[in-house]
Amino acid sequence: MVLSTEENTGVDSVNLPSGETGLGEKDQESVNNLCSQYEEKVRPCIDLIDSLPALGVEQDLALPAIAVIGDQSSGKSSVLEALSGVALPRGSGIVTRCPLVLKLRKLNEGEEWRGKVSYDDIEVELSDPSEVEEAINKGQNFIAGVGLGISDKLISLDVSSPNVPDLTLIDLPGITRVAVGNQPADIGRQIKRLIKTYIQKQETINLVVVPSNVDIATTEALSMAQEVDPEGDRTIGILTKPDLVDRGTEDKVVDVVRNLVYHLKKGYMIVKCRGQQDIQEQLSLTEALQNEQIFFKEHPHFRVLLEDGKATVPCLAERLTAELISHICKSLPLLENQIKESHQSASEELQKYGMDIPEDDSEKTFFLIEKINAFNQDITALVQGEENVAEGECRLFTRLRKEFLSWSKEIEKNFAKRLCCFI
């Protein structure tokens, strides 16, 4: 778990991807105890939910998840990079072209980083974070084709490291309005339709990423989230790029984060991640987190948000993990009831077909005799007018009359066609 200390201010320490925390011995012991508690309570819940799709449960039931949405260039990829500690595909235009399930698993201190990218029936094992970006690009090209098209097929990225939070996120394509290059003319509509299939589910927490230097009320991502979650019960706002805010408008940003402008029940967080210039200058994710701490600590307006525990990536990671666990715990009883109801319905359906065919040859003979006897009994009941008719159904002879009438019309039609050919 990525943690901050000093009474939740996150001012003097941060768990960095390098493993350095900057904590005193007493504080470090406190953090280790907290991590141990999370390992016992958090990991089993997330592992349970992550294992269900492999069993096919997701085809019938919606599972608890956090979906990340944002307009293009909102800083969405930067937030995910900071949380995962790996570089994700970047660039102009549509970069995320398939839904990316990002599964983060915290390892014990000293264990080695490992990763895996999965799509269709392909699994690619990764031994270094630098391999992630290329592996995801290959997966997107395989699924959505080389170019700028999108697909609703999932790509899964598993990252296990001592320096990531226990968290599972779904990264969705950035919202766009205008098709460029060889993109389909309706690419904007395609992306919105894909996003909506995820964020409209009541089991999904919507993480909406918005730049700090734009009017939050005009962002398409927040508008879409409000459409499916009018009360903001399952929406969290994430403000990015606080360093680009115009002078004199800082207080407005503070009001947004404090939930005084565009109210969401789950509120807002604010982070400062690597920008394009930082990447060009090869600023590491570790250095970026350190710079983020310094930025908020020394900023005359945003420092108060750090003190409130509403700023920096480590605070965001802690908040998201807590939200996901709480959401899973609330959803599990309902999910259990849905599974029980589906199981009961399937069992009742199976009972209508009787016992399965036995494997033993002698038992197969008795099984066949029973079926023949049952068939004969049904025929006798039909002849004697004692047929059992379910509610909403009609008797067999009534159905047969309709079928024979349809058959007779079909014969007459074909006969007329052939007659015309001879004439």
Question: Domain spans of the chain?
Answer: 59-343
Which has the minimum average pLDDT: 57-61, 221-225, 264-268? 57-61
Average pLDDT of the segment spanning 258-283:
89
Tell me the mean pLDDT in the region 306-315: 93
As a whole number of angstroms, the distance between CA 21 and CA 178 comes to 44
Determine how β-strand 167-171 pairs with β-strand 100-106. Answer: antiparallel
What is the structure's pLDDT at 7? 35
174-202: average pLDDT:
84
User: Taking residues 28-49, what's their average pLDDT?
Assistant: 54
Q: Which two tokens stand for residue 371?
A: 């079926």
- pLDDT higher than 60, residue 284: yes
More confident: 106 or 421: 106
What is the Cα–Cα distance from 185 to 177, expressed in whole angstroms? 10
- What does the pLDDT read at residue 294? 94
Predicted confidence at residue 42, as pLDDT, reads 62
Output the CA torsion 105→106→111→113 (10° steps). Answer: 50
Q: Which DSSP string corresponds to 157-173?
A: EEEEETTS-SEEEEE-P
Question: Please, which pLDDT band fits residue 212 given cuts at 50, 70 and 90?
Answer: very high
Query: Which position has the higher pLDDT, 283 or 47?
Result: 283
Distance CA 237, CA 226 (A): 11
Q: pLDDT averaged over the chain? A: 81
pLDDT at 355 over 80: no
The predicted structure's pLDDT at residue 385: 67
* Residue 50 structure tokens: 């992550």
Q: What is the pLDDT of residues 142-183, one digit of tens each?
A: 998 887 778 889 999 999 998 888 888 999 988 887 777 677
Between helices 187-199 and 220-228, what is the axis angle to 10°? 40
Can you give the pLDDT at residue 52?
A: 65
Q: Is pLDDT at 92 greater than 70 in this prediction?
A: no
Q: Give the pLDDT of residue 55.
A: 59
The answer to which of 205-214, 329-338, 413-422 has the lowest mean pLDDT is 413-422
Residue among 211, 241, 239, 185 nearest 72 (CA): 211
Least confident segment among 157-166, 289-298, 343-352: 343-352
Higher-confidence residue of 41 and 207: namely 207
Q: Which CATH number is 59-343's, of 3.40.470.10, 3.40.50.2020, 3.40.50.300, 3.40.50.2300?
A: 3.40.50.300
**DSSP string covering 268-286:** EEE-----HHHHHTT--HH
CB 66 within 8 A of CB 209: no
**Which range scores top for mean pLDDT: 35-39, 217-221, 246-250, 395-399?**
246-250
pLDDT of residue 2: 36
| Helices of type H across 60-207 | 76-84, 132-144, 187-199
Task: Check pLDDT > 70 for residue 27.
Answer: no
pLDDT reported for residue 13: 37
Q: What is the pLDDT of residues 245-266, one digit of tens each?
A: 999 999 999 999 999 999 999 9
Closest by CA position to 272, among listed 290, 256, 284, 254:
290
Classify each residue of 195-229 as buried b or exposed e, where b means 16 or more C-beta atoms within 10 Å of its C-beta. Answer: beebbbbebbbbbbbbbbeeebeebbbbebbbebb
